[in-house]
């Protein structure tokens, strides 16, 4: 299990606005090359985003599903990476004075990612999640979304 946190020096409403905007997904999620809205209205429960990832010269596709949304505090996602398996990513968005504390909790659910889960995989997730939280903070600070589908 990989748990990280980051204090973002912006109000919770600004952080939530980024998390709730499907067009900004690729700005803060590490690894996405291209993304698009798939079903439903993001971040309503059941909504999904499709994405591609480039890995070692190959392009892989996957989907991210909203499993729980309690705006503006909780967003739980299930990332389905096809043959690699699925993972749960939970974002807890807390008011911290005038700022926002974001706690990201990620762990594998099914498939090879779950079966091969070990301390090395956790360490790699920690690095990825630190970068993802930094990108989230930068996206919030930037304030404007990029066009959907941009990579």
Domains of the chain: 2-30+68-142 (3.30.530.20)
In whole angstroms, what is the distance from residue 20 CA to residue 9 CA?
A: 18
Q: What is the pLDDT of residue 81?
A: 85
Percent above pLDDT 70 for the chain: 90
Confidence check: pLDDT of 123 > 70: yes
Confidence check: pLDDT of 31 > 80: no
Confidence check: pLDDT of 54 > 70: yes
What does the DSSP assignment read for 32-91? -SEEEEEESSTTSTT-EEEEEEEETTEEEEEEEEEEEEETTTEEEEEEE-GGG-EEEEEE
Q: What is the pLDDT of residue 83?
A: 80
Is residue 64 within 8 A of residue 37, CB to CB? The reply is no
Paired tokens of 83: 């043959």
CA 102 to centroid of chain Cα atoms:
12
Q: What is the pLDDT of residue 75?
A: 98
pLDDT band at residue 147, thresholds of 50, 70 and 90? very low
CB atoms within 10 A of CB 11: 16
3-state secondary structure of 133: helix
Confidence check: pLDDT of 115 > 90: no
User: Rounded to two decimals, what is the model's pTM?
Assistant: 0.87
Q: List, for residues 55-107, the tens digit of each pLDDT value.
A: 777 888 899 999 999 999 999 999 998 888 899 999 999 999 999 999 999 98
């Amino acid at each position: 299990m990989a748990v990280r946190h980051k204090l973002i020096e912006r109000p919770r409403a600004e952080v939530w606005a980024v998390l709730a905007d499907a067009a900004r997904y690729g700005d803060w999620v590490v690894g996405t090359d291209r993304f698009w809205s798939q079903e439903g209205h993001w971040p309503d429960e059941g909504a999904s985003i499709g994405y591609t990832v480039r890995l070692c010269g190959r392009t892989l596709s996957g989907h991210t599903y909203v499993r729980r949304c309690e705006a503006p505090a909780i967003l739980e996602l299930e990332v389905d990476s096809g043959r690699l398996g699925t993972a749960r990513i939970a974002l807890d968005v807390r008011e911290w004075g005038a700022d926002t504390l974001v706690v990201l909790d990620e762990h594998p659910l099914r498939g090879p990612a779950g079966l091969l889960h070990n301390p090395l995989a956790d360490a790699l997730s920690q690095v990825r999640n630190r970068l993802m939280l930094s990108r989230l903070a930068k996206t919030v600070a930037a304030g404007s979304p990029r066009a959907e589908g941009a990579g």
